[in-house]
A = this chain, B = another copy of it.
Amino acid sequence: MTGIAPRPTLEAVAARAGVSRATVSRVVNGGDGVREPLVERVRRAVEELGYVPNQAARSLVTRRHDAVAVVVAEPESRVFADPFFALQLRGISKELTAQDNQLVLLLTEGRDDHARVARYLAGGHVDGALVFSLHLDDPLPGLIQQAGIPTVFGGRPGWNGDRNDVVYVDSDNRGGARDAVRHLVGLGRSRVAHITGALDQTSAVDRLDGYRDVMGDADPRLVAEGDFTPGGGERAMRELLDRCPDLDALFAANDLTASSALRVLRERGLRVPEDVAVIGFDDMLPVAEQTDPALTTVRQDIEEMGRLMARLLLRGVEGEPGSVVLPTTLVRRGSA
């Protein structure tokens, strides 16, 4: 329909401003070492022609891309229906935008995709990668490390400790869990139960560890395994009530779990918080605020985690000594 406007090149701008290509390039890239009147003339020419640098040409010589890949391994669809990830993505996007970087999103579906992602990353299309490693046995992080590009992980990767060149950003899952359980104990509760998350994820393991830090191994029957989903939470809660009808508090591994637990408790005629005090984890607003009663929970600043991941990556992973663990805060509402 419309004639495609031929995009102006550096050459065109140079001609219009009456200078060389090199000078235009200098101005476009910050203008150091060019005298003011020339800078002005070039700026005007750029403006008038609507010049936009060709990123492909630029990358070809600089070998930089001003682009970062965000890799999300998604073995189960559950992960993606999770506002958690969306918020983190948002934080990442904000930071990248602020630094004039683009966000290339790589979602993987199953094992076959791993090779594809690894090839893409190794292919030098992006300057770095932000990786969400969700499961302990996920081969993806390893493949990516092999690709040899700067990488920051979201959440502590499973193979912990043995590789100290790994940079990650995580919440203080263990500390947050401790705070929650201590709060319950401070309320005078002594039979504090815990529904874990999916234990192939470090966040779930860390939260369980936090619980144990306070409760010790007192009564192992007070711990039931969940999987972060409402369905798993429901099952675990029933299990717990059958095993330990005398429990007087619950620390759930996340808000979704806590929310289903709340339903089971009501169904059994137990009052919250009078009979059983309940605390969740995440502070996912649509969930935590809408339960009845509203959920006391451990807040983690998810968006900030994302932002930090991006910042760490861009500031150059090499310089950074290690990882960042963000603090959590207990948010008191009605349930405990």
**A116: nearest residue on chain B (CB-CB)?**
B97
In this assembly, does A124 line the interface, its C-beta being within 8 Å of a C-beta of chain B?
yes
Q: A57-B60, A103-B105, A104-B104 are in contact. Are A86 and B81 (CB under 8 A)?
A: yes
* Proximity string of chain A (13-42) to chain B, C-beta cutoff 8 Å, 1 when within and 0 when not: 000000000000000000000000000000
Size range of the chain A interface in the assembly: 35 or more
Q: A105-B105, A148-B4 are in contact. Are A60 and B56 (CB under 8 A)?
A: yes
- Stretch of A155-163, A214-222, A284-292 contacting B (4+ beta carbons < 8 Å): A284-292
Tell whether, in the assembled complex, residue B105 and residue A93 are in contact, meaning their CB atoms are under 8 Å apart. yes
Cβ contacts under 8 Å, A113 to chain B: 97
Count of identical protomers in the assembly: 2
Cβ contacts under 8 Å, A82 to chain B: 83, 86
Give the complex CA separation of A102 and B104 in angstroms.
Answer: 7
In this assembly, does A198 line the interface, its C-beta being within 8 Å of a C-beta of chain B?
no
- The winner among A56, A86, A97 for most chain B CB atoms within 10 A is A56
Cβ contacts under 8 Å, A290 to chain B: 230, 259-260, 263
Give the complex CA separation of A82 and B84 in angstroms.
Answer: 10
Contact sample, A vs B, 16 pairs, CB 8 Å cutoff: A52-B119, A52-B123, A52-B124, A56-B57, A56-B59, A56-B60, A77-B90, A80-B86, A97-B109, A97-B113, A102-B120, A103-B104, A103-B106, A103-B107, A105-B105, A230-B290
